[in-house]
Amino acid sequence: MSIRRTLLCLALAGASRGHAEDLLPSWRETPSKKVITAFVETVTGKDGPGYVPPSERIAVFDNDGTLWSEQPMYFQAFFIFDRIKALAPQHPEWKKQEPFASVLRGDLKGALAGGEKALLELVMASHAGMDSGEFEKLVTEWIATAKHPQTGRLLTEMVYQPMLELLAYLRANGFKTYLVSGGGIEFMRPWAERVYGVPPEQVIGSSIQTQYAVRDGKPLLLRLPKLHFVDDKAGKPVAIQRHIGRRPIAAFGNSDGDFEMLEWTTSGPGPRLGVIVHHNDAEREYAYDRKSHVGKLDKGLDAAPVRGWTVVSMKGDWTAVFPDLKR
């Protein structure tokens, strides 16, 4: 056996010992944790009736409100506003043109007063008009320093420590973990691997249209100001089938936008896990559900007990919400 393979075997032996450790240290020993670990033990139990081969261990995670915060608004909106401000010198007309004028005055409520049409205009102005490589660079540079307006943390530090542990725990048990988010697919890909351990090919999201073109001998994927797909509500199962081609066995969400994804996932045969993260911790994060304009959770709260979905209480089930900052 080569040295490299011997080292690999030692690493595997270490991993073997690791299975006895608690991979979910930020989860209290509550029923929520027990449901999750019992499910994982069932599907990995080789001789049990609930065994699922690794190739079918697909877990899907919503992002906004499930893996990172979404208050006071979706973080991608901060990116949009920062891009609009950066582009303003090239667009003097925006000073008098809504929704841009409101953004430039810092009046975010006014900017969104125009509803979906205004939002789409802002998305296209900030997300289209460049090629895919340029957009990736813009997001990468922006996310490296973008901070939360209330906590002052980097946005990538507004992720939930217990959910990071859960992602790693599932992967350690042979799961393939996917993001299935209403957020932009190309907005998440540049940092999802670093922050969540989820590679670009396992990120699913909303998208605008792209076009292949060769300019000065250089092939490019141009980002067009046209909506391609909204990965929300009934769009989530459609996108899951399109990208993955099999039904997940575990789904994690937090809002009614995840309802159909949970429904689709948990309606299949064999062991299934549906989890809703409930934002009930105003002290450590935020508290909102049935009446929130962002991340509204109403239908899901009613359906959970009927459908056997687990409602995770941020307040009761988690010992910590955000990762410790070692800076």
Contacts to its own copies by CB under 8 A? 1-2, 5, 8-9, 12-13, 16, 55, 132, 176, 185-186, 189, 193, 199-201, 203, 207, 210-212, 214, 218-219, 221, 234-235, 237-238, 241-246, 260, 263-264, 267
Query: Shortest Cβ distance from residue 324 to its own copies (Å)?
Result: 27
CB of 104 to its own copies, least distance (A): 32
Nearer to its own copies, 141 or 201 (CB): 201
CB atoms within 10 A of CB 269: 7
Sign of CA dihedral 318, 297, 205, 130: negative
Instruction: Report the residue number, 31 or 48, with the smaller CB distance to its own copies.
Output: 48
Helix ranges (H only) for the chain are 3-18, 31-44, 75-87, 100-105, 108-111, 115-127, 132-143, 161-172, 185-196, 235-243, 259-266, 299-307, 314-317
Taking the complex as a whole, the smallest distance from the CB of residue 294 to its own copies amounts, in Å, to 23
The CB-of-72 to its own copies minimum distance in angstroms stands at: 29
The residue (of 242 and 290) whose beta carbon lies closer to its own copies is 242
Nearest distance from residue 246's CB to its own copies, in Å?
5
DSSP secondary structure of 66-81: TTB---SS-HHHHHHH
Burial grade of 302 (CB within 10 A; 0-12, 13-18, 19 or more): exposed
C-beta closer to its own copies: residue 109 or 218: 218
Minimum CB separation from its own copies for residue 218, in Å? 7
Classify the phi-psi angles of 115: left when phi > 0, otherwise alpha if psi is within -120 to 50, otherwise beta: left
> Least separation, in Å, of the C-beta of 200 and its own copies?
3
Nearer to its own copies, 137 or 246 (CB): 246
Q: Which residue, 176 or 278, has its beta carbon nearer to its own copies? A: 176
**Which residues are registered as beta bridge partners of 64?**
68
59 has which bridge partners? 177, 250
Q: Name which of 18 and 72 has its Cβ closer to its own copies.
A: 18
Long-range Cβ contacts of 263-268 (<8 Å, 24+ apart):
263/237, 263/307, 264/236, 264/237, 264/240, 265/60, 266/307, 266/308, 266/309
